[in-house]
Amino acid sequence: MVFKRRDRRSPVQVASEFVYPRGGWTRAFHYVKHRVRRLPDSPDRIARGIGAGVFAAFTPFYGLHFVVAAVLARLLNGNILAALSGTFFGNPLTYVPIGVVSLQTGHFLLGTRFRKGDTHGLMGKFADAMGDLKDNCIAVFTGREADWHGLSRFYDDVFFPYLVGGVIPGIIAGLICGYLSLPLIRTYQNRRRAKIKAKFEQIKRLAEAKAAVPDSNALGSEQNRKKESGDV
């Protein structure tokens, strides 16, 4: 295949590059910024797409943030590619503060008590939920009794408060990122158009200059011919 990697990465390499990409997060950030600025769309649509992607990073649908961002961008008439790039806001460096803020906000809005163990035991509850899914899928084929206790606890303590609490900070962060990116994208596109226009003008002047050279040579030859005819 044309786009297939020559050096196949191991699962450990994939996981390590997800946590710390090759070249570092600074290089990855500049790459995403460069790709967003060069999108062939209006600044308004690109900014709306970025806002949709940032909002998607505050949802608990890990692994589906691209899907959520694309759907939101479609509903907001934003650029879908910009929305996919906007999900970069959610990364291993920001997942913890996003999760804590979303959980605290969710428990506050639902009127439930935010216990300290809800954050310290997050991975344990997630593991229990995944274990329930695996065991219950096996139970379908083996006839064992299904137990949804771990998944139910994860839904009540983590998923639903996260889902509710991520809406407000997600909207705020999405609006801020979209608002800040709009003038930057507009300025970049205007500057890029000016550079392209100046380059075409330079090419046009060079072409006109080259076209004028044969005309002057032809005029000189014609003058020489008339002089020679007069002498005869």
Q: Judge contact between 156 and 110, C-beta under 8 A.
A: no
Enclosing domain of residue 71: 11-206
Pick from 160, 136, 159, 139: nearest CA to 149: 136
Residue 101 has pLDDT above 70, yes or no: yes
Specify if 139 maps to a domain.
yes
- List pLDDT tens digits, range 38-83: 677 788 998 999 999 999 999 999 888 999 999 999 999 998 888 8
Specify if 231 maps to a domain.
no
Specify if 15 maps to a domain.
yes
Q: Judge contact between 59 and 174, C-beta under 8 A.
A: no
Q: Tell me how far apart the alpha carbons of residues 153 and 161 are, in angstroms, rounded to a whole number.
A: 12
Helix or strand or coil: residue 1?
coil
Alpha-carbon radius of gyration of the chain: 30
Specify if 211 maps to a domain.
no
Total structural domains in the chain? 1
Specify if 229 maps to a domain.
no
Specify if 123 maps to a domain.
yes
Specify if 150 maps to a domain.
yes
- List pLDDT tens digits, range 143-153: 677 666 767 77
Instruction: Supply the pLDDT for residue 76.
Output: 92
Specify if 4 maps to a domain.
no
Residue 231 has pLDDT above 80, yes or no: no
